[in-house]
Amino acid sequence: MSRPNKGGRADLLVEIGTEELPPRALQRLAEAFAELLTVALTDQCLAPAGAAVWFATPRRLAARLPAVARRCPDRVKQRRGPALAAAFDGGGAATPAAVGFARSCGVPIDVLEKLETDKGSWLVHRTVEAGDSASALVPQCIEQAIIALPTPKRMRWGKGSVEFVRPVHWLVVLHGSRVIPCQLLGVAAGRVSAGHRFMGEHRVRICSAGSYEQDLEECGAVIADFARRRQLIARQVQKLGNKAGGVVVADPALLDTVTALVEKPHALLGHFDPAFLEVPPEALISSMRDHQKYFHVVDDKGVLLPRFITVSNIRSTTPGRVSKGNERVLQARLADAQFFWKTDCRQPLDSRIDALEGILFHQALGSLRDKARRLSRLARQIAQCLGADPAACVRAAELCKADLVTGMVGEFPDLQGVMGRHLAKHDQEPVAVARAIEEHYLPRQAGDALPSSTPGRIVALADRLDSLVGIFSTGEEPTGEKDPYALRRAALGIIRILVEKKLDLDIVELVDSAADAYTVGGHPISGAVREQAVAFIMERYRAWYSSAG
């Protein structure tokens, strides 16, 4: 039992200042820290649930919780004694039981109270225990939140044993305008934060929890609010994209990453040599987006323009020089891509098929060349069942893995299939074949797009069936949460293609055809393995059907 106290309430601010935090994990860490801190304070009856605001920059994690009590509510402790019938005699005089109970509580009998319940009346002794102060409990709550942070790897620094995501340099803990004294992560709490490394004051005094963002921005040139920084970057890059005569492609994941890399963003427009546009645009975009964290610009038809936008963490007095420096860095990246593209174009894609002998698919199942042979056989059978053009399907199956031995895929692994399509087009393969080479990787994950062409669907089915049946034959089927060969995803891909594209194919026959392809290649598949593979796919189907409603 508790009762309110008159200690008052105030906002609580906790800021952990560090060396540069991992950008991809920054938002998740900040959200988790605010949530964990809220839970810890709520458990102590100090804060309302779910009201925290989180902040994050490359060098800090922070959370502010409104209306945090200065003390926990007082607790009323109740100790029950003898029943009233046993505590007093017929004349109303206290019995030895009542006297003994009062003595054990250290009070006179007349201080004791009565407790009425459905089961009878009792003597009780009630005392009020003052609630602990926030100053005593908040450090414990912060420590609990830090320990529970979802950080797979922590690091140590200096000579101590303290561990955190990155070395910690300062700690701010303010309750209203008062510092809560404590020592966590090897540093003492105070009200001094750190400003921008180059544009603001090195030491920034935080006046109160409520003035945190204002103090940091005015004195430290730091925008602590992640969402506001993100919006500012989005506006800046869109404005520069329009200035460049196109539209910037503001990929949400890239926007989050760039927001996590800067404390005061300033977008800059850059250019690259139009001659690089002969390289497939996906490779250019990968160089800009994935390697350099640049935003690319397209025209109103979606065609890539020789422009890019970078976001700097400083406002330079000579922005042109900063842009030129970024252009030189990108020039080298794009020159590499251009070199690999031109080199790959000198050799037809089908001449690379035999090189797949050097890439192991599985120790017990042979090379990727062996897999390509099985896919060709299986694709032909599926095409005949559907009345599709078997020549296009077989050709796509033969070539679908050939780009894995190209320089472009070696430099840009995420573009496997995409580069196969471009190289097939360069070799003047049929359009349906080129498209199927790319589409056979679809869907890559849950909710991803499905192949739009019939050859693409057929080769995608063949690829997944071959992997699933083959791995089951080696006894490495998924167990519990372990699925190293992504067979659950493969089964789900098979189901989605069959159901959503309305392909009239029998799963048992598909599995048998895939198993027969292994048998022809000298790796017979038993009936038990075939049944096991069918059961696995059907189990995934039931789960998918239930989740789809």
Q: Is the pLDDT of residue 216 over 60?
A: yes
The structure tokens listed for 88 are 């007093």
Pairing type for strands 187-190 and 183-184 reads antiparallel
What are the b/e assignments for 296-319, b being 16+ CB within 10 Å? bbbeeeeebbbbbbbbbbbeeeee
Q: Identify the band that residue 48 occupies on the pLDDT scale cut at 50, 70 and 90.
A: confident
Predicted confidence (pLDDT) per residue in 77-91, tens digit: 788 888 887 778 877
Strand blocks (E) in 264-371? 266-271, 295-298, 304-312, 360-362, 366-367
Please say whether the beta carbons of 511 and 372 come within 8 A: no
Is 174 in contact with 138 (CB distance < 8 Å)?
Answer: no
CA gap 170, 384 in Å, rounded:
69
**pLDDT exceeds cutoff 80 at 34:** yes
Separation of alpha carbons 487 and 467, rounded Å: 8
Average confidence (pLDDT) over 200-222: 96
Asked if residues 99 and 54 have their Cβ atoms less than 8 Å apart, the reply is no
CATH code reported for the domain at 353-548: 1.10.3210
Q: Which of 191 and 479 is assigned the larger pLDDT?
A: 191
User: Quick check: 471 pLDDT over 70?
Assistant: yes
pLDDT over threshold 90, residue 232: yes
How much is the mean pLDDT over the chain? 92
Q: Please say if the pLDDT value at position 1 is more than 50.
A: no
Q: Is the pLDDT of residue 549 over 70?
A: no
CA dihedral over 391, 397, 398, 399, signed as positive or negative: positive
> Please, are residues 232 and 255 in contact by the beta-carbon 8 Å criterion?
no
The answer to whether the CB of 13 falls within 8 A of the CB of 212 is: yes
Instruction: State the Cα–Cα distance between residues 524 and 369, nearest whole angstrom.
Output: 18
Give the pLDDT of residue 119: 82
Indicate the pLDDT class of residue 137, thresholds 50, 70 and 90. Answer: very high
The pLDDT score that the predictor gives to residue 92 is 79
pLDDT higher than threshold 90 for residue 207: yes
For residue 276, the SS3 value is: helix
Instruction: Identify the pLDDT of residue 50.
Output: 73
Question: Any bridge partners for residue 538, and if so which?
Answer: none
pLDDT of residue 83: 82
pLDDT grade, residue 4 (50/70/90)? Answer: very low
Q: Which residues, in sequence order, are bridge partners of residue 247?
A: 298
Alpha helical stretches, state H, 65-199: 84-87, 96-105, 134-147
pLDDT of residue 304: 97
Separation between Cα atoms, residue 15 and residue 142, nearest integer Å: 10
- Distance (Å, whole) CA 45 – CA 9: 12
Beta bridge partners of 420: none
The per-residue pLDDT for 527 is 95
Q: What is the pLDDT of residue 311?
A: 97
d(CA 40, CA 12): 13
Question: What amino acid is encoded at 503 in this protein?
Answer: L
- At residue 425, φ and ψ (nearest 5 deg) are -65, -40
Length of the chain: 549
Q: What angle do CA 340, 342, 346 make, to 5 degrees?
A: 110
Q: What is the mean pLDDT of residues 69-80?
A: 80
Could you tell me where the beta strands, DSSP code E, fall in 395-461?
none
- 458, with CB counted inside 10 A (0-12, 13-18, 19+), is buried
Domain ranges of the chain: 2-72+133-220, 77-129, 226-345, 353-548
| CA atoms 484, 489, 490, 492: torsion sign | positive
**Arithmetic mean of pLDDT, 43-69:** 91
Contacts of 300 (CB under 8 A, 6+ apart): 246, 247
Local confidence band at 2 (pLDDT 50, 70, 90 cut-offs): very low
pLDDT per position as a tens digit, 96-136: 887 888 888 888 888 888 888 888 888 888 877 677 788 99
Place 160 in a pLDDT band, splitting at 50, 70 and 90. Answer: confident
In sequence order, which residues have a C-beta less than 8 Å from that of residue 523 and are 6 or more positions away? 364, 365, 366, 470, 473
Proportion of the chain in helix, strand, coil states, percent, rounded to 5: 50, 20, 30
pLDDT above 90 covers a percentage of the chain that reads 80
Counting Cα atoms < 13 Å in the Cβ hemisphere of 408 gives 29
Q: DSSP secondary structure string, 33-79?
A: HHHHHHHHHHHTTSS-TT--EEEEETTEEEEEEEEEESBPPEEEEEE
Output phi, psi for 352, to 5 deg.
-95, -5
pLDDT over 70 at 7, yes or no: no
Residue 169 reports pLDDT greater than 80: yes
Neighbouring CB atoms inside 10 A of 98's CB total 20
Whether residue 174 is predicted with pLDDT greater than 60 in this model: the reply is: yes
- Of the listed ranges 158-162, 341-345, 537-541, the least confidently predicted one is 158-162
**How far apart are the C-alpha atoms of 29 and 6, rounded to whole Å?**
35
User: Tokens for 382?
Assistant: 């599926």
Residue given tokens 């994209």 in the structure block: 241
Which residues, 6 or more positions from 544, have their beta carbon under 8 angstroms from its beta carbon? Answer: 492, 495, 496
pLDDT in tens, 320-336: 999 999 999 999 999 99
Tell me: the pLDDT tens digits for 361-414? 999 999 999 999 999 999 999 999 999 999 999 999 999 999 999 999 999 999
C-alpha 391/C-alpha 400 separation (Å) is 14
More confident residue, 312 or 7: 312
